[in-house]
Amino acid sequence: MINATITDNIIDSVRGASTFSVAGIFVANATNSGTNLLANNAISNVATNGTLGDFGTGIAIGGGAVTTNIYNNSVSASGTLTSATQPNYAIVIAGANPVVTIKNNVFYNSAVNGGGTGLGVGAYAIGFGYATPLSNLTINNNDYFTTGAEAKFAKTGSLASGSGADVANLAALQTATAGDANSISADPLFNSASNLQPQTGSPVVGAGATGTGITTDVSCNIRTSPPAIGAYDVAADNTPPVITYTALANTLCATAPTLAVTITDASGVNVAPGTAPRMYYRKGGAAASQMYLETIQLITTQLSTAGNM
């Protein structure tokens, strides 16, 4: 494939129930010269039960004589596998040292093996099917994050299990790529497995590089300078908090009752005096208009806030 532009797509549930490969975007090997652009794509819920060299990936680049520019994509490989013996990746670069530029992307992988043998299974952010030195690679300002029992970060030399070399962390990847000086390894704080817009406070906001020519994001927002890493430039808290409490017993009591409340929110809970969360309650059979107000006290953390009335 040459001179292709693949931009502004939201791709979800790239699954393989069988043992074959899957890819959210696959750019085939090309023998002719040209330039391909992949930008502002959000690819989520990628995983397959690959065996015998098959694997799952959000983006697959086949290589060849073509130049490929990969800018501002968000990729999340996730899910529970059942019989995989091969890795899953957020992105793979195959071929023999192709000319590739990779900037301002989020590569996230949390796939786990639930029922298979687990032989050779790994959750990688990025994989290169060829060995170092990666002399035709320009790479920087990306976020690589893997988590879970299968987390293995990155791989060079081969995409198959049992061969190639694992790259343990960002520092080792910087050595392998001779790049990624401004890349990070941090949880991008997606709103959900299918919504890859970052939450308020995400480390990817404002962490990208300028000069890519990508002026808007996947939601058509004008990109800031510096832009965010990933397909979305604007963070938003689209996930409501989880609020739980221990109900008061419906009995007479000789001492003041205590109502314990826990507020959990990924983007934090306000703890400032005067504006912290408040709780409304009624006494006895009072009308709904006769409500009582109490500020939640004993705030413990911004992510899990407990208070007593």
Distance between CA atoms of residues 118 and 72, nearest Å: 32
- Answer yes or no: is pLDDT of 256 > 80: no
Residue 66 burial (10 A CB sphere; 0-12, 13-18, 19+):
buried
Tell which residue, 188, 182, 185, 183, has the closest CA to residue 168: 185
Mean pLDDT, rounded, for 51-62? 86
Distance between CA atoms of residues 41 and 292, nearest Å: 49
Q: How confident is the model at residue 293 (pLDDT cuts 50, 70, 90)?
A: low
Mean pLDDT, rounded, for 2-16? 91
The whole-number pLDDT of residue 296 equals 52
Q: How confident is the model at residue 194 (pLDDT cuts 50, 70, 90)?
A: very high
Question: Do 138 and 179 form a contact (C-beta atoms < 8 A)?
Answer: yes
Mean pLDDT, rounded, for 279-301? 55
Distance between CA atoms of residues 284 and 141, nearest Å: 59
The whole-number pLDDT of residue 134 equals 95
User: What is the percent of the chain where pLDDT is above 90?
Assistant: 54
Q: How confident is the model at residue 220 (pLDDT cuts 50, 70, 90)?
A: very high
Distance between CA atoms of residues 303 and 76, nearest Å: 23
The whole-number pLDDT of residue 309 equals 33
Question: Do 56 and 46 form a contact (C-beta atoms < 8 A)?
Answer: yes
Question: Do 229 and 204 form a contact (C-beta atoms < 8 A)?
Answer: yes
The whole-number pLDDT of residue 300 equals 39
Q: Which amino acid is at 112?
A: V
As a whole number, the mean pLDDT across the chain is 85
For residue 296, how many other CB atoms are within 10 A of its CB?
A: 22
